[in-house]
Amino acid sequence: MLSTIWHYWWRFWRRFHLTRWLIIVVLVMTLISVTYLTIVAKTSHVRDLQANLSRSTEIYDQDGARAGKLYAQKGTYVKADKISPHLADAILSTEDRNFYREHGFSVKGYGRAVMLAITNRLMGRNQISGGGSTISQQLAKNTFLSQQQTISRKFKELFIAIEIENIYSKRQILTMYMNNAYFGNGVYGVQDASRKYFGMDADELPVQDAAVLAGMLQNPSNNPIDHPAAAKQRRNVVLQLMADNHKIPKSKVKAYQAMPLGTKDTFNVGNNYRYPYYFDAVINEAINKYGLSEKAIMNNGYKIYTNLNQQQQQSFQTDFKNPNLFPQNAADGTEVQAASVAVDPKTGGVQAVVGGRNKDVFRGFNRATDIKRQPGSTMKPLAVYTPALENGFKYDSELVNKKLSYGKNRYTPKNINDVYTGKVPMYKALAQSLNAPAVWTLDQIGVNKGFESVQKFNLPVTKKDDNLALALGGLSTGVSPQQLAGAYTAFANHGKLTKPFYITKIVDSTGKTIVNNEGATPSQIMSPDTARQMTSMMLDVFNYGTGTTAKPAGYQVAGKTGSTEADSSTDADATRDKWIVGYTPDVVVATWEGFDSTNADHHLENLSGTGVNSLFKHQMEQILPTTDQQQFKVRDSASLVAAKQQRERRATDPDSDSSWVQRAETLNGKVWDKGSSLTAKAVQKARSLLGF
């Protein structure tokens, strides 16, 4: 039976020349694969490798001054003559004895690795078991590829290694490898490793210490500080390999093996990653917006120019280390968290950012950019009062301040103190953060107009948010401090919205500009007159409203406070989030405060929002002196209303001043209402010259 099947199969095979077709298919697939891998190798910028490795990526601030370096996978680069020859001998004896007789790969080693890969694939493991990598291949993997062990990565490694061999000498390749190798404890390169473990420069390493470093390449965790016994055992193996490779006399092996490790740590990381949250945000933007990989950013010696203001950033970081500016920890010791961001309203450039009070972790969680929390009453200017002004209301329009129910679900917003006055002017409703008139106003203009307004402010809202709860910040997803700061740039920038960003330019190691970003063109989302009226009302927030204790001494700041209730607590004053966003013509600062996880044991107290006020006040008093200190060209609403009422009283009083005085007062009011650059002092001088 089997012979019959085989006979017909063989006739079929010969009839259609399947052997030839199989050969053609294999050759075509091989050609396609080789072509693809060659393109990968040729487009990997191998010619820039030495320049990239010898330079650290540097970050520059808004003035072009150097702000720091990115040090992940980057150590102190030293030339070949600054590295002990014992170290090269030890590495070649353990990692690649045939280094000088190969062209980037080992046929035997690669064949062994391929067989292991096929075996693992047949057993259902999509990985390789190592082996077969020359020094050139390891350099290609460490600098251009991921550490994921797959067949495709292995072939890319092979072709890039060949390209490296075509461009660089063996001495250059070995030097680059030693400067890029990882030695545990966050240390890269032989110079920093020599300092970290033996307290000396790389060119001073004796044989026994060079053997220790070479032995760490396969398992960096077995270093002489953390695991001295394992490090010594591995060192002795390396020493024997060096003898077998005729790099040291066999007669001296036992003497070297008997020597103690003699570790000494004189390595100093330095103060190059000084602004971790800002630098992390820069890396994230380079990856997410410009398509660069983390490996390229950290290894390619870029110059990254940013909007960083070092004075503002330093003050932020100092404030976040001051426990006196924050509420007490929870009973179990959990810290109240916070985040702040400062943005230039004219450009959208982020000048400073801090994303938490916790210990810095490279590219860790940044609350200033990553959290999504309910914005509370900071939403009222965006969702209610801006669209109200755009639809016929004025800053002093009377709003209904009553406890009312809306819709089929009887939505009933309440003021915090549960007190209602029947009517209240808009500017007072905003300054005192009254809920009832805000919801009433949104209902009057139409929820959809409020929803569309929030969209214009570039905040993330969905159809679920298209309801009256939007007035009080009831969003389905929430916002981050950076998003909120971006929204408020429109008030500080004559109605033009700017989008926060970090990077202005990236230059590669050859001097070529690969990113040139001047920021997005501002969007006019409201009229300049509306922006002036909103600023006028939000000045009152800090003059006599909910932000009085947050007002920086000697400065006029406009903005809004906000808070959200902690639903998981029976405490009536339990608060989940506290917000303040404030601005001048020069800067917008948004600050959030709360616990990462809110529950009955982890919540803030007092819905008034005073807990975050001291932090914000301290921040602004340090930041504002670093700005141009431009003044608002509009008075606060309370002063405008008082002046208006005074004019009206004089107009109806028969014993009032002459009509010339009345006209002067009227002119004075109009000047302020329109935000003219004329000052009250100038108007008063004009009156005195006229003799009034």
Active site positions, annotated: 95, 377
Tell me how crowded residue 641 is: count the other CB atoms within 10 A of its CB.
18
Distance CA 273, CA 159 (A): 35
Residues 6+ apart with CB under 8 A from 61: 67, 306, 308, 309, 310
Which SS3 state, helix, strand or coil, does residue 514 take?
strand
Integer Rg of the chain from CA: 34
Q: Tokens 């487009």, residue?
A: 43
Q: Is the separation of the CB atoms in 478 and 465 below 8 Å?
A: no
Determine the 3-state secondary structure of 148 from DSSP: coil
- Residue 61 near residue 306 (C-beta atoms within 8 A): yes
CB 293 within 8 A of CB 283: no
Q: In angstroms, how far is CA 68 from the centroid of its own chain?
A: 16
Q: What is the largest CA-CA distance in the chain?
A: 128
534, exposed or middle or buried, with CB in 10 Å at 0-12, 13-18, 19+?
buried
First to last CA, the chain: 125
According to DSSP, the residues that pair with 58 across neighbouring strands are 69, 303
Specify the amino acid at residue 284.
N
CA–CA distances in Å: residue 117 to residues 126, 152, 154, 389: 8, 11, 10, 69
> Cβ neighbours of residue 15 under 8 Å, at least 6 residues apart?
none
Contacts of 432 (CB under 8 A, 6+ apart): 545, 546
Q: Contact 609/565 with Cβ under 8 angstroms? A: no
CA–CA–CA angle 132, 138, 139 (5° rounding):
150
DSSP of 542-600: HHTSTTGGGPPTT---EEEEEEEE-TT-S-TT-EEEEEEEEE-SS-EEEEEEE-SS-BT
Specify the residue for token string 């693992």.
Answer: 120
Q: Is 651 in contact with 662 (CB distance < 8 Å)?
A: yes
Q: Which residues contact 14 (CB under 8 A, 6 or more apart)?
A: none
Listed in sequence order, the residues at least 6 apart from 548 whose beta carbon sits closer than 8 Å to its beta carbon are 542
Q: Is 613 left (phi over 0), alpha (psi -120 to 50) or beta?
A: alpha
CA distance 310 to 220: 36
DSSP state of 521: P
Report the relative pairing of strands 575-583 and 558-565 from DSSP bridges: antiparallel
Question: Which residues lie closer than 8 Å to 661 by C-beta, 6 or more apart?
Answer: 650, 687, 692
